[in-house]
A and B are shown apart, each in its own frame.
Chain A
């Protein structure tokens, strides 16, 4: 369970602004794989928009569960299409979900790859401790697809409830390897090493976002979502390793 509430206050100069307030506050529920990139996006949104954002990062499926129970939020961003599709059917979204980024899978191993893992098939090796995300988490579902495609039967030692926990368990040295996103490896700051997943087994994750129907702050929510999809926002996402939608 990893929930980070990062508050990026960007409205410092707002008080002196004249005319209609361009900024405001918004609460964004985002997939845990977006942790670093979205925090940077919030910082980058400062010059023009002056939006202050509170984040709740968790596994996409957990965000959906919270939102279905009525958690107050303005924007939801998930690591797949299915999560928002479910929320749309439940009548929780204000508009159609939009795709704003893509991500790809990567094998994560301990720093320097002491176990010499080179492919998904290696993860089936006996004695190798592998952690995956739970299949209900988008990253876990993608990992299962990739492993099935590679024909590798892996017996994980744990099914973590979000993708960041997978990286943490490998980084701490408790597990030998795991499957996460390419964006998670640089985000872990050198504690883990990435090993590429073969192109034929690769799964592309499409990230989708939407504004919630009863968003308390729809204006700032729209500004934030627009910024995420703007060239400047896309540049930030790509700097963190995400692909275009």
Chain B
């Protein structure tokens, strides 16, 4: 049965939609379209764009490597402390990114909890490096991979895994040959969402990795700094980020909202 929308819900629905859409419309309307090609081809913009693509791609790959096993554990294990594990993986979702950046500095900075050991043992320092920007993006984007893939794994028909077990497939083989292919759509969705979040990361990056063109100044940082002196360039860069977001949404279509269904 189709639900009729109660009349008194229409007003907040319309206000909500206008509220969400108006900033996007304003951005598109204010964009200096004639300068688009010229500015996008200019050195600073290309540098930020390239750096953003590289770092968000690296963060996404790492997020999948770490996130899929975490998602599998959350979806399949019946461990007592699982709720704690879930809380930990979700933390960056609710933590303000700037706080994440400060926490990363205290953990992975050259005098940090783990960072001083990394520095002493491997001579590895993360702040002010591209690797540091990747780490900041990974921190905020990882939950997106975990949550999405976990939902996908939960939707997989467990009987297929059990059937594989009765046919003699070990846990490792079942994971790779049954669970993963069945959860493939959620893997793609998780990677896409994760990538989009990593691409948009600002607070943790500027706090933990600093701001240097070509090394740690990703697109959102460039937007923020350009807004202070060349607002039209900031609008253009924002359009690039907006386009990526729309592409990700379209690519996912209804999948994101449909994931939770059995």
Question: In the complex, how many angstroms separate the beta carbon of B49 from the nearest chain A beta carbon?
Answer: 18
- Cα-based distance from A173 to B106 in the complex (angstroms): 10
The answer to whether B128 and A157 have CB atoms under 8 Å apart is yes
User: Which of A61, A62, A174 contacts B128, CB < 8 Å?
Assistant: A174
User: Which of A62, A136, A158, A174 contacts B212, CB < 8 Å?
Assistant: A158
Is A209 in contact with chain B by the CB < 8 A criterion?
no
Cβ-closest chain B residue relative to A58: B228
Which residues of chain A have C-beta atoms less than 8 A from B225's C-beta? Answer: 134, 136, 161
Q: Using an 8 Å CB-CB cutoff, how does the interface string of B217-251 with A read, 1 for contact, 0 for none?
A: 10000001101110100000000000000000000
User: Which of A62, A129, A172, A174 contacts B228, CB < 8 Å?
Assistant: A62
Interface size for A (C-beta < 8 A) is: 21
- Cα-based distance from A61 to B209 in the complex (angstroms): 21
Q: Using an 8 Å CB-CB cutoff, how does the interface string of A173-205 with B read, 1 for contact, 0 for none?
A: 111000000000000000000000000000000
User: Which of B109, B203, B212, B224 contacts A159, CB < 8 Å?
Assistant: B212
The answer to whether B109 and A158 have CB atoms under 8 Å apart is no
Is B111 in contact with chain A by the CB < 8 A criterion?
yes
Which residues of chain A have C-beta atoms less than 8 A from B111's C-beta? Answer: 172-174
The answer to whether B231 and A174 have CB atoms under 8 Å apart is no
- Cα-based distance from A164 to B213 in the complex (angstroms): 20
The answer to whether B228 and A64 have CB atoms under 8 Å apart is yes
Instruction: Report if A158-B210 is in contact (Cβ < 8 Å); known contacts: A1-B98, A174-B110.
Output: yes
Is B89 in contact with chain A by the CB < 8 A criterion?
no
Is A14 in contact with chain B by the CB < 8 A criterion?
no
Q: How many cross-chain pairs have Cβ atoms below 8 Å apart between A and B?
A: 59
Q: Using an 8 Å CB-CB cutoff, how does the interface string of B177-221 with A read, 1 for contact, 0 for none?
A: 000000000000000000000000001001101111101110000
Is A4 in contact with chain B by the CB < 8 A criterion?
no
Which residues of chain B have C-beta atoms less than 8 A from A157's C-beta? Answer: 128, 210, 212, 215
- Cα-based distance from A64 to B228 in the complex (angstroms): 7
Which residues of chain B have C-beta atoms less than 8 A from A156's C-beta? Answer: 212
With most chain B CB atoms within 10 A of its CB, the pick from A64, A65, A131, A156 is: A65
Is B152 in contact with chain A by the CB < 8 A criterion?
no
The answer to whether B228 and A173 have CB atoms under 8 Å apart is no
Is A80 in contact with chain B by the CB < 8 A criterion?
no
The answer to whether B229 and A61 have CB atoms under 8 Å apart is yes
Question: In the complex, how many angstroms separate the beta carbon of A205 from the nearest chain B beta carbon?
Answer: 18
Cβ-closest chain A residue relative to B234: A65
Question: In the complex, how many angstroms separate the beta carbon of A229 from the nearest chain B beta carbon?
Answer: 28
- Cα-based distance from A134 to B217 in the complex (angstroms): 12
- Cα-based distance from A23 to B64 in the complex (angstroms): 58
Cβ-closest chain B residue relative to A1: B206
Is A49 in contact with chain B by the CB < 8 A criterion?
no
- Cα-based distance from A172 to B102 in the complex (angstroms): 10
Q: Using an 8 Å CB-CB cutoff, how does the interface string of A156-171 with B read, 1 for contact, 0 for none?
A: 1111110000000100
Q: Using an 8 Å CB-CB cutoff, how does the interface string of A130-174 with B read, 1 for contact, 0 for none?
A: 010010100000000000000000001111110000000100111
Binding site for B on A (CB under 8 A): 1, 59, 61-62, 64-65, 129, 131, 134, 136, 156-161, 169, 172-175
Interface pairs (6), CB distance under 8 Å: A65-B228, A65-B229, A136-B225, A169-B210, A173-B111, A174-B110
Extra 18 A-B pairs, beta carbons < 8 Å, given A64-B228, A161-B225: A1-B207, A1-B224, A61-B229, A62-B228, A65-B231, A131-B128, A134-B225, A136-B228, A156-B212, A157-B210, A157-B215, A158-B128, A159-B211, A159-B217, A161-B211, A169-B127, A173-B111, A174-B111
